[in-house]
Structure 1
Amino acid sequence: MHLARVTGVVVSTQKSPSLVGKKLLLVRRVTADGELPQSPTAGDEVAVDSVGAGTGELVLLSSGSSARHVFSGPNEAIDLAIVGIVDTLSR
């Protein structure tokens, strides 16, 4: 799993049937302290939301087959899923 910050919302009217009705969010992976990286190569990714996250929230991401299983199966067109909202983060 990875930590990320929700940076926006994606609206897609034409998409795979397995994505119909699912909320798509832009996320950017963050440092272990929950901060956005200063690197210019750090980019946004699209993730499917399973927990009702919103813009600005710190979230947990799951990727690959683990992300697909959150939404009922290996045939989903999903590679990245938001599986948790982080309340606190400490080291």
Structure 2
Amino acid sequence: MQLAKVLGQVVSTAKEPGLDRFSLLLVQDALDTDPEQTSGPAYVAVDVVGAGVGEVVLVAAGGAARVAAGADVPTDRAVVAIADTVVRDGTVSYRK
């Protein structure tokens, strides 16, 4: 799993029937040192927890993403948690 930040939403009126019950989010991986800072390409993830723009989230990939969203949903990444606090080496690096 990877910490990421929600950048926005992807709106699609025509999509796979299994995806109808989910929002699609545009997310970008968080930096190790500061979860509110991002790096790398943005990507789309299925939202299974109701995350919003600007939130730091936990993203599952591959088989774990499909399990989280339901086995019938074609997805490679899913937002599975919203971070309240991130503690690294005993120091809080992020607090919601």
Report what 2:16 is aligned to.
16
Aligned alpha-carbon RMSD (Å)? 1.0
Matches within 5 A, 1:1-91: 1-32=1-32, 33-34=34-35, 35-37=37-39, 42-73=40-71, 75-91=72-88
What is the TM-score normalised by the length of structure 2? 0.84
Q: Tell me which of the two structures has the higher relative contact order, counting C-alpha pairs closer than 8 angstroms and 6 or more residues apart.
A: 1
**Paired-residue identity, %:** 45
* Runs ≥4 residues deviating over 4 A: none
What is the TM-score normalised by the length of structure 1? 0.88
Amino acid at match of 1:28: Q
Alignment partners' CA distance in 1, 2:4 and 2:58: 6
Matched residue pairs, number? 86
Alignment partners' CA distance in 1, 2:48 and 2:17: 17
Q: Which runs of 5+ in 2 are unaligned?
A: 89-96
Give the CA deviation at 1:71: 2.0
Q: Which runs of 5+ in 1 are unaligned?
A: none
